[in-house]
A and B are shown apart, each in its own frame.
Chain A
Amino acid sequence: MNKALKIVVLAKQVPDTRNVGRDAMTPEGSVNRAALPAIFNPEDLNALEVALRLKDECVGSTVHILTMGPLRAADIIRDAMFRGADGGYLLTDRKFAGSDTLATSYALSCALRQIGADLIVAGRQAIDGDTAQVGPQVAGWLGLPQVTYAEEIEQIKDSSLVIRRRLEHGIEVVESPLPAVITVCSTAAEVRPQNARLILKYKYAATRSELIGDNESLRAEMVAERDYLNIVEFSASDVECDESQLGQAGSPTKVKMVEDVVFQAKESKVLTASDADIEGLMVELMASHTLG
C-alpha cells in the first residue's frame, strides 16, 4: 500500500503542427492558432498516463490538470477527466498573453504554489514550441528537484520515486525525493483511451467563464449541483504573483525575424543498373561506413 499522492499534470493545448498548411504561421512569426486544430499536446498525454498509473498504484491519489491558455483550453482538462483525471485548473487571463517560456513557467509555478502538489508531471515539450523549458523552469521557480526525459516510474517509495530516464545513449535510473517535477518523453507508455463511464460522469464539467450567460441549461444546473464538475478557473489576480513578470512584460524572448526556409535537395547522383555502377556505390558506402 503506497501513500496517496496529490499529482498535478502540466498540460498544454497546442495547434496540431503535425498537419501544417500554408497559413500555419502569421506574418509576425507566431503560430496561427486559428488555422490549425487544437489538440492535447502529445507528450502531455504521456505525462497524464504516468500520473494515472501512479494514481492506480497509490490508492487515494488524485490527478489534476493545470493548463494555461484561452478559455477553450478547458477542452483538454475535460479530455483528461474522461481518461481518469479528477479535475483541473485553467489559468486564463489577457495578462498572460505573449508569455514566453519564462513567463509561462512563472505563472504556472505561482498557481502550483496555491494548489500544492506532491508531484508535478509534464510532457517533455510542446509541439508548437519544442523548447522543453517550461517543466524544468517550473522546478526552478519552485526550488524542486527535477527529473527530465522520464519514461517510467519503476518504484514508488515512501517519500521518493525511482524513475527510468530515456537518454540519447541509453537509459539511466534515478531516485528523486518528493515533491518533484518530472518531464516525460514520448517513449513512455501511451495514454489510455477515454472511458465511457467517465465521459458520462464528467461531460458537463465547465469553467465559470464557460457558464456565463448559460443559466438555464442542464449543464449549468449540473455544475451547480455537483462540485466535481467545476473546472477551477484562475485569473492573474486569483494567484499570488508579481504581475510585471507575466505576459509579454515578463518575457525576455523576442522574435527578431522569421525566415521561410525551403529545404533543398543535396547533390544527387544518377546510377545505371550496371554492375560497375553498383559496385562503385558499394565501395563508396563502405568507405564512408554507411554500410559494413
Chain B
Amino acid sequence: MANFFLDNKDLQYHLEHPLMRKIVELKERNFADKERFDDAPQNFEDAMDSYRRVMTLTGELCADVIAPNAEGVDKEGPRVENDRVVYASGTVENMKAVNAAGLDGITLPRRFGGLNFPLTCFVMANEMVARADTGFENIWGLQDCAETLNEFASEEQKQKYLPMVCKGATCAMSLTEPDAGSDLGAAMLKATWSEEKQTWLLNGVKRFITNGDGDISLVLARTEEGTADARGLSMFVYDKNDGGMKVRRIESKLGIKGSPTCELIFTDAPAELVGDRRMGLIKYVMSLMNAARLGIGAQSVGLCEAAYRESLKYAHERRQFGVDIIKFPAISEMLSNMRARLRGARALLYETSRFVEIYKQYAHISHERSLEPEERAEMKRYNRLADAFTPLVKLMASEWANALAYDAVQIHGGSGYMKDYACERLYRDARVLNIYEGTSQMQVVAAINGVTKGTFMEQVSQYEVLEYSADMQPIVESLKALRARVEAMAERVETINKEYPQYKDFHARRLVESVGHIIITYLLAKQASEVEEYKSDAKLLAKQTEAYIASAEVYINSSEGSDVALFSEVQEQY
C-alpha cells in the first residue's frame, strides 16, 4: 500500500530533529496530561512514537484516498447552489476520510478534543495532503484558524469553537475585499453593535475567500466609524449556523480548482468580537497570516514533492532514441536540481516551523505563568527568527514550487502540455502559491528587515559554528565568503538608498533571496554531514547559491542610484 509518509525518508528525517525534544517538552508541559487523557504521551519517546503513527496514518490516507481523487476534483470542482457551496464529490469523500481518521484539531489542546501535536507534525501533514491534492490542502489546512482562536479568543469562545474544529468543522479567513487585497488595512466590511440583539452584526462584501462557506469564519471588519485604516479594524468569529451570510459566486480559477474561492455577502450576520477592538489587523490577523504563510510553505513543498516524483517516474519510463530520457544530461540535470531544491525548501520549512513553534509555546506558557528571564529571552529570540523566516520560506518555497512545476512539464515534453499527466495540474496549482497569503513581492517587504537589521545573519553565525563533515567543509568556507559578499551588497544598497529612496525596494528581492540561498545551503550541508544521501543535494545547492549570488552581486554593483529612474519611466507611461 502506498504511503506518503513511509515513502519519504526526507520527511521522516525532519521529524527526528534534535530540537523536537525541546518542542515536545514545551508542548506537553512535563507530560501533565498523561493522567487525564488516555491518548496523552507518557514521555518523549512515547510522544514521538505517537507522532510517527499518526503521520503514517495521514500518509496512508493521502496516498489511498486524496491523491486518487485529485484529478476528478480538478475536473468537477465545487459549485454554488442556493447560496451555498457544494464541494466536488471527491472533496466530500476526502473530508469524510480525514474526519473519520480524526485528523482535525491536530495542534489544539486535548481539553478541546485536539491531539495536542506540535506544529511540525501539522506542517508535515499539510505537506503530505498538498502532495496528494494541492487544492484540498486549502480546505483541510484552514483548521489552523483555530490556533488563532486558541491564542487570542476568550475562554468561552474557545470552549465553543475549538471542539467544533476538533470534530471536523471547516474554517475560513474572511479578510480580502474587492478594494482590499494586499492592502488589508483598507477593508470596509462593517461591524456594528446591536443593542437590541446584544451582538455585533456584520454587513458588507468579502472576495477571494478560500473555503468562504466554511463552518467557522474569522472575519476582519471595521468597528470604528469614520476610520479608513488598519487601526479601525477588529477581528470577529462567525458561525455559519447563525445565518446572515450568502455565497454570491465562486471564482473560476486557473488552478486549485477543488478549493472554492468565494465572494460572500454578509447581511446583519451576528458575530463575536475576538480580543480587543482595533487590534484586528495589527495583531490577530498578522498572526493568522503568519501561520497561513507557513501553511503555504508546506503546500509549496508538497507540490515540489509531487512534481519531482512525477518527473522522475516519467523520465525513467519515457524512451527516445532508444534510451530512457533520464540518461540525457539535460534531463538528469533538471531532475537533480529539482531534488536539491525540493530538499532545500523542505529544510527551510521545518527549520521555520521549529522557530515558530518554540516562540508560540513560550507565548502560551506566558499566559499560564510568568516566564523565567532566560525563557523570556529565548521567546524573544525565536519570535524574531519566526518573523524573519516565515516570509522567507513562503517566498523561496512558493517560487521554487513554480520552478519545479515548470520543469516537470518540460520533462514531460508534449505530453506534459496535455491533460493526461498530473504535471499539467501541478503547473496550474503552483501558480497561486506565490500570489496568495501575500505575493512574493509582499514577502520581500516583510523579510528585507531581517537582512538589513541582522536577524538572518545572526542565525547564519549560528550555522557557521556547527560541526560539519570534512567533505562539507569547502561548502561551509565558500558560504562564509558569500555571506561577506552579501553583507557588502546590503551595505551598498543601504548607503545608496539614503540618497535615492526606492533603491532598496528595487534590490530587496535580490538581497532576500541571496540570504535565503545561503541559509538553505547551510541547512543541507548540515544534513549532508549526518546523512550520506544529502551530499549531492548540498553540493548542487552550493553551486546554485554561488551562481545566484554572483549574478545578484553583478547586478547590484553595476546599479547606480540614478538607475531608479530607469524603473520609474513606466510609471508615467500609461
Q: Which residues of A contact B (CB under 8 A)?
A: 192-201, 203, 218, 222, 226
Q: Mark B73-109, 1 if CB is under 8 A from A, else 0.
A: 0000000000000000000000001001111000000
Whether B100 pairs with A201 at a CB distance below 8 angstroms is no
Whether A199 pairs with B54 at a CB distance below 8 angstroms is yes
Whether A201 pairs with B53 at a CB distance below 8 angstroms is no
* B340 located at the interface, meaning its Cβ lies under 8 Å from any Cβ of chain A in the complex: no
Contact partner, B115, options A196, A203, A226, Cβ 8 Å:
A196
Whether A201 pairs with B39 at a CB distance below 8 angstroms is yes
Residue from the set A194, A196, A197, A218 with the largest chain B CB neighbour count within 10 Å: A196
Residue pairs across A and B with Cβ atoms less than 8 A apart, 24 shown, are A193-B61, A193-B65, A193-B97, A193-B100, A193-B101, A194-B101, A196-B57, A196-B101, A196-B103, A197-B39, A199-B53, A200-B38, A200-B39, A200-B41, A200-B53, A200-B54, A200-B115, A201-B38, A201-B39, A218-B43, A218-B45, A218-B46, A222-B42, A226-B38
* B49 located at the interface, meaning its Cβ lies under 8 Å from any Cβ of chain A in the complex: yes
Q: Quick one: closest B residue to A84, CB to CB? A: B100
Q: Which residues of B contact A (CB under 8 A)?
A: 38-43, 45-46, 49-50, 53-54, 57, 60-61, 65, 97, 100-103, 115
Q: Quick one: closest A residue to B106, CB to CB? A: A196
Residue from the set A200, A201, A203 with the largest chain B CB neighbour count within 10 Å: A200
List the B side residues contacting A195 at CB < 8 Å. Answer: 100-102
- Closest Cβ–Cβ distance, residue B67 to chain A (whole Å): 15
Known: A193-B61, A193-B97, A203-B50. A198 touches B42 (CB 8 A): no
Q: Quick one: closest A residue to B45, CB to CB? A: A218
Whether B102 pairs with A196 at a CB distance below 8 angstroms is yes
- Closest Cβ–Cβ distance, residue B42 to chain A (whole Å): 6
Q: How far is the CA of A204 from the CA of B439 in the complex (A)?
A: 47
List the B side residues contacting A200 at CB < 8 Å. Answer: 38-41, 50, 53-54, 115
Whether B50 pairs with A192 at a CB distance below 8 angstroms is no
List the B side residues contacting A192 at CB < 8 Å. Answer: 100
List the B side residues contacting A196 at CB < 8 Å. Answer: 54, 57, 101-103, 115
Q: How far is the CA of A198 from the CA of B65 in the complex (A)?
A: 20
Whether B42 pairs with A203 at a CB distance below 8 angstroms is no
Whether A193 pairs with B50 at a CB distance below 8 angstroms is no
List the B side residues contacting A197 at CB < 8 Å. Answer: 39, 102, 115
Q: Quick one: closest B residue to A199, CB to CB? A: B53
Q: Quick one: closest A residue to B110, CB to CB? A: A197
Q: Quick one: closest A residue to B117, CB to CB? A: A196
Whether A203 pairs with B38 at a CB distance below 8 angstroms is no
List the B side residues contacting A226 at CB < 8 Å. Answer: 38
Q: How far is the CA of A197 from the CA of B38 in the complex (A)?
A: 9
- Closest Cβ–Cβ distance, residue B250 to chain A (whole Å): 29
List the A side residues contacting B50 at CB < 8 Å. Answer: 199-200, 203
- Closest Cβ–Cβ distance, residue A95 to chain B (whole Å): 34
Whether B49 pairs with A199 at a CB distance below 8 angstroms is no
Residue from the set B41, B45, B50, B101 with the largest chain A CB neighbour count within 10 Å: B101
Q: How far is the CA of A193 from the CA of B46 in the complex (A)?
A: 22
Q: How far is the CA of A194 from the CA of B101 in the complex (A)?
A: 6
- Closest Cβ–Cβ distance, residue A237 to chain B (whole Å): 33
- Closest Cβ–Cβ distance, residue A45 to chain B (whole Å): 13
Q: How far is the CA of A201 from the CA of B38 in the complex (A)?
A: 5
List the B side residues contacting A199 at CB < 8 Å. Answer: 50, 53-54, 57
Whether B101 pairs with A203 at a CB distance below 8 angstroms is no
- Closest Cβ–Cβ distance, residue B322 to chain A (whole Å): 29
